[in-house]
Structure 1
């Protein structure tokens, strides 16, 4: 007899990104709605069968989404703002309009704000609730998918974002804080009560309600909000003979400060993460105990990284839990949405020395099943020692030899290596004279559209159909084209377009020692956007110059300033699969030294502006405020300073961040000591400006004036309004005008008109400032 196993969620994009291709085919008109639905239905069926065949007991349903599970929840609860309802679109098209905006014969609306899902690189759509919103059960998706699986003979555990997390993530119009008052709380609780009642009527055994917001710090009234919601939702959990069991699922951290509250409410099961938050969750269990009738779902298989599970460690944690309660089920630590589909087919990874160390989503199902067997004893009282011994071999000895040169270089660093001289105001004055840029200088974040032709040429090079010289000639022609186009529309600081790069992290990894790469290990980032992170296998150092050639070439083709484009060390690590045998701090410092070498080579080659993207800096900020500095910022911020501290005063250092909550770490961002920062602000309605103003932010800044993750083309007037909104909170001399992210994923047909409108908007505002400000009637 093995322990019960549960999977919190499973990747939905498919083994070969079938969902991405189907949805994008529908958007382009090459696949109709029924065709897209058919692909989705086949994927759901395939994934349910995979989990059943792997021996998983509680298989999730409703973890599928065409775009985002939080967005699905908004639609299920009727939290669809009127501007989207007024478009008169069907369910899927309404969902897409909320996720990516809409511009067509039915109207012109921007997308909902998009933020990072806790400490992951997955993005969710922020629910919007206003005075016109009526929270009520308004859809049937979870019930339809449950029946769909049951018709296949597979009993599933429906999964929903819980009401507490949903309300805590929700905002009012223009990103305003949401007032959580009686009517809204009552209606939300009633909607979830009806959901459980509906599942009970269908004969569902288990329903999983995800409440990851419980691992966050609690504000005054949070626990009372949680109690109020669940006192409405839980009594009887549907009542009658068909009572459904409720699994309250947490992940990404610990719930030590509220476990007693969870116990009091009488959940049938509580899911705790013992990958992240292990020590705190264990201590809380020992301190409070577990009520009779409550099962602990122990998250032991890491859903956030791709390394094999150490069975001995997991079984030790399980034994510690069982000292508190014998009623334990085994689970993934979080949804497997955050790891690739399967190691199968990764022929580039050595099958003897490398591949055995990795487990993607499919392999993690096997790990969970094996752990469930190892967790029990056979008739002779012995554990299944063969599986345990085979697993232990992966962790015995040294997997990879250390690089002594890297260790010596780190050991030789001093405090002065983390400080740039002179101070920033002095540097900014020098840079203003040397660069000679106008007020409100315009630029882009770095990348330009990766067209089908560019991807085809890269594939031809990889297959040996063209020579390196032919490929390089093609890249040069693309740079020529984009430089000429940027000059023509009037951008002030140009970029070379990054056409030679397949990805902003993988490309750098390919030029660094210590990295491995996969062929198909894609992970969903937002909507249909997928990324393929490289793997940090050993100590990191720069193998060769990475960007100097093409940045120098671009600068030679124009009299304008061209930015050198780099990815920063924190982002490279956060968007890679990091080692688990070495701390994140050490890995980041190794990366910082490698990128420092590149910065100095760019400067020596005559590049006067260098952008070091730290798009993912905020992403891995610990969820508990007390851990922010000691476990992250105290080494992440200095690592960035290490990258650029040795450049001369006249070299202007930029950085970029996207889709995160910046307000609460704005002073730490200023302490990165960059000269200019650009960041996403369009989808968050520029709410970061208040924090910039309050912090007396020294860094020049370019809050994004339009959303590049939407295909709509913003008008000149729209961006003029945005710029003036920025100028209401920032000095004009410190403002840059730019999109809110790179343009790699956009098409040419929306990229260039949008940029032309942006430049025209900046020029109009410059004229207004030169003549005394904006006319009152246009404000």
Structure 2
């Protein structure tokens, strides 16, 4: 039998020191040229390929690099650029990429940015393609061919990667409600065929075509589309590796077996059991790629377990096997070697993208009986690390486990239903019609970051740090009062990140210095690592909120991150069920919520932007997740009196299919992203009588575009079609930390004036 081949599905593109982020933002500020930015991108690609080559991978993956987003690149590749981003008669160029993503680019074109939403069940955001009836695709900006030429110059054996046509259409949005996106397939097939023809001339053997929607619940129409599309393709001399990830394809394996592909990739980390169903009838003359190295977490792989799994699969499947990452490694930090200050014991349990590449090679060497002495040494080191983590006393806390075991149903219930609470809150809070607020954070200036870094590096005392942060809080409070905002926030100057901040104050977390991953565009996050049982040693926000409230007569919200979001936006321990970890977080937050109420905080916001994101891809698994996710939120929030108003916030998610569970959270007020979709998300409330208050976002904070008062009023009037005036809040889409103060002040001024106008318009009506 031939040796097992190895490859990855993709590598992080941000650079080991976030070079791409820094360079791109410098380009936006006109500090560097387009040529200089592209040179930095070229250098990052070369470093990524070198890591794969030096590790000894059989294929170097090419085409996984993007200056912003791979889905947006695919739109530009096929000339799918909405008219508003092009001047009459002009064609797309490099700046069009950023204009579509941000609504602004250095070419001074301004237009409404394309929508952005989560990439399946990850915390990565992609730019949603827009389709219109009769849409014509045409190969346009072809960065894929540029990257192929670049990689080929080094003599690598390359495997280009391309998003498949069905997944691309699925991810997009039809501009007309009665328009079927599948009607666009014939033209799209022609353009994909042209790409395949171009690649066939490049001495390329294999191409990776990503079709992750095969892990979803597909209708018969979409299943049939797979057969129709792939049987029409002329791949020339290319071999197609159809790539799936984030779930099981066993419900769709029948259609996969019928289409003329040459190989199939399975994510065996998200669903190991699918292998048994897949190999029953999978053709022996096709390659089967095994995604056994987890691309979405940071724990060292159990090499012994993986190689045993491969041997068992080989006994059942006699065809050619490849070994790979479960998905692209873009969801992992770049290089563990960059972590100089990480606890050595815990560092020994971890593997980032570069180390995962080495794990893949080690597994294949063991299976192929190559480099036996070195492989045996590395295998022993791996086994010791796995055993060390399993037996570490730092991981388990019996008091925490006992408290979780004692949770009962009443712990998740408020004292009275919303209808009663709302009356008490109205009496206590005395807020006007269309109350205005923001989501939590205000611009994180360089001055604020310098203060935090100086304190972290012990360059200033705790007293000086506290004084500096208090000055920034004072400035935020004064600005909000000047803007006539009704419910204030303290601005979160003390917080580096909405998850990392709390993780640093909870037991069971550890942190990296360079563990960055891309969230969207140039936005990178550094997820905490949950390695053990979680508890709250002391209060986390009380001092800051008490100081903030002392500065104003208006209400200042207490600001917390919810249990599901802390779980989802961390690298989570894999030795217990996620719901167990979430319950531990919920109990820690419950203690904080109760302490905030004791500190006379009347409004407490518990953000859950990851609530929809963490939903399993298969609908058959939804209810189990929703049950425990809702329960965790309710446990965190339910320990307070009726007069205390609980808010939650969610962003960039579709709610229609889980609206009942959103209502089951029983938050008094929910704020959601709506501005980019022109309030379309509120259609979820058209056929569902959502009982509580809602704040649909009216300011797209991910774009430098400043909404006018007129635009905000139009959005609010649209929202009033779905939400009664007495239950409508006015707020931005999300936190404002990524924006600058001048644009924030103008936008919020327009927002409060729009609310004031509506207040005058509706105040005389019988509500």
**TM-score, normalization: structure 2?**
0.96
Q: Per-residue deviation at 1:746? A: 0.9
Q: Deviations over 1:1-22 (max 9, x none)?
A: 8521111000000000000000
Q: Per-residue deviation at 1:553? A: 0.8
Mark the runs of 5 or more structure 1 residues left unpaired by the alignment: 774-779
Contact 1:343/1:360 (<8 A) preserved? yes
Residue 292 to residue 104, structure 1, CA distance change in 2 (3 Å):
closer
For the pair 1:339 / 2:340, whether they are aligned, the reply is: no
1:70: which partner in 2?
71
Measure, in 1, the Cα distance between the counterparts of 2:91 and 2:202: 30
* Alignment partner of 1:263 out of 257, 262, 285: 257
2:269: which partner in 1?
275
Aligned residue runs from structure 1 range 110-189, under 5 A: 110-131=112-133, 133-173=135-175, 176=177, 178-182=179-183, 184-189=184-189
Measure, in 2, the Cα distance between the counterparts of 1:532 and 1:585: 22
Aligned length: 760
Residue 696 to residue 735, structure 1, CA distance change in 2 (3 Å):
same
Q: Per-residue deviation at 1:648? A: 0.3
Measure, in 2, the Cα distance between the counterparts of 1:113 and 1:45: 31
Contact 1:678/1:703 (<8 A) preserved? yes
Measure, in 1, the Cα distance between the counterparts of 2:393 and 2:256: 44
Contact 1:659/1:680 (<8 A) preserved? yes
Residue 385 to residue 114, structure 1, CA distance change in 2 (3 Å):
same
* Alignment partner of 1:422 out of 398, 416, 419: 416
Q: Per-residue deviation at 1:772? A: 6.5
2:609: which partner in 1?
615
Aligned residue runs from structure 1 range 424-439, under 5 A: 424-439=418-433
Q: Per-residue deviation at 1:43? A: 0.8
2:286: which partner in 1?
294
Point out the more displaced range, 439-448 or 104-113. Answer: 104-113
Residue 89 to residue 231, structure 1, CA distance change in 2 (3 Å):
closer
Q: Per-residue deviation at 1:47? A: 0.9
Residue 462 to residue 89, structure 1, CA distance change in 2 (3 Å):
farther
2:571: which partner in 1?
577
Q: Deviations over 1:47-81 (max 9, x none)?
A: 11111111111111110111100000011111111
1:709: which partner in 2?
702
1:33: which partner in 2?
34
1:727: which partner in 2?
720
Q: Per-residue deviation at 1:320? A: 3.0
Point out the more displaced range, 740-749 or 86-95. Answer: 86-95
Point out the more displaced range, 138-147 or 437-446. Answer: 138-147
* Alignment partner of 1:245 out of 239, 263, 266: 239
1:392: which partner in 2?
383
| SS of alignment partner, residue 720 of structure 1 | helix
Measure, in 2, the Cα distance between the counterparts of 1:466 and 1:388: 45
Measure, in 1, the Cα distance between the counterparts of 2:520 and 2:142: 23
Measure, in 1, the Cα distance between the counterparts of 2:276 and 2:419: 49
2:745: which partner in 1?
752
Measure, in 1, the Cα distance between the counterparts of 2:555 and 2:371: 75
Contact 2:652/2:673 (<8 A) preserved? yes
For the pair 1:228 / 2:228, whether they are aligned, the reply is: yes
**TM-score, normalization: structure 1?**
0.95
| SS of alignment partner, residue 99 of structure 1 | helix
Measure, in 2, the Cα distance between the counterparts of 1:683 and 1:110: 8
Residue 137 to residue 606, structure 1, CA distance change in 2 (3 Å):
same
* Alignment partner of 1:376 out of 368, 379, 385: 368
| SS of alignment partner, residue 110 of structure 2 | strand
1:768: which partner in 2?
761
1:776: which partner in 2?
none
| SS of alignment partner, residue 354 of structure 1 | helix
Point out the more displaced range, 158-167 or 457-466. Answer: 457-466
Measure, in 1, the Cα distance between the counterparts of 2:535 and 2:130: 45
Mark the runs of 5 or more structure 2 residues left unpaired by the alignment: none
Aligned residue runs from structure 1 range 378-777, under 5 A: 384-396=375-387, 397-401=390-394, 402-630=396-624, 632-770=625-763
* Alignment partner of 1:303 out of 295, 300, 304: 295
| SS of alignment partner, residue 442 of structure 1 | coil
Residue 680 to residue 72, structure 1, CA distance change in 2 (3 Å):
same
Contact 1:129/1:178 (<8 A) preserved? no
Q: Deviations over 1:258-316 (max 9, x none)?
A: 2122122121111111111210x21222432x214210011010000000001122123
Point out the more displaced range, 571-580 or 394-403. Answer: 394-403
1:777: which partner in 2?
none
Q: Deviations over 1:73-115 (max 9, x none)?
A: 0111111110012285762211101001128985531111101
Q: Deviations over 1:440-492 (max 9, x none)?
A: 11000000000011111111212222111111111111111110110111100
Point out the more displaced range, 34-43 or 391-400. Answer: 391-400
Measure, in 1, the Cα distance between the counterparts of 2:135 and 2:452: 48
| SS of alignment partner, residue 478 of structure 1 | helix
1:24: which partner in 2?
25
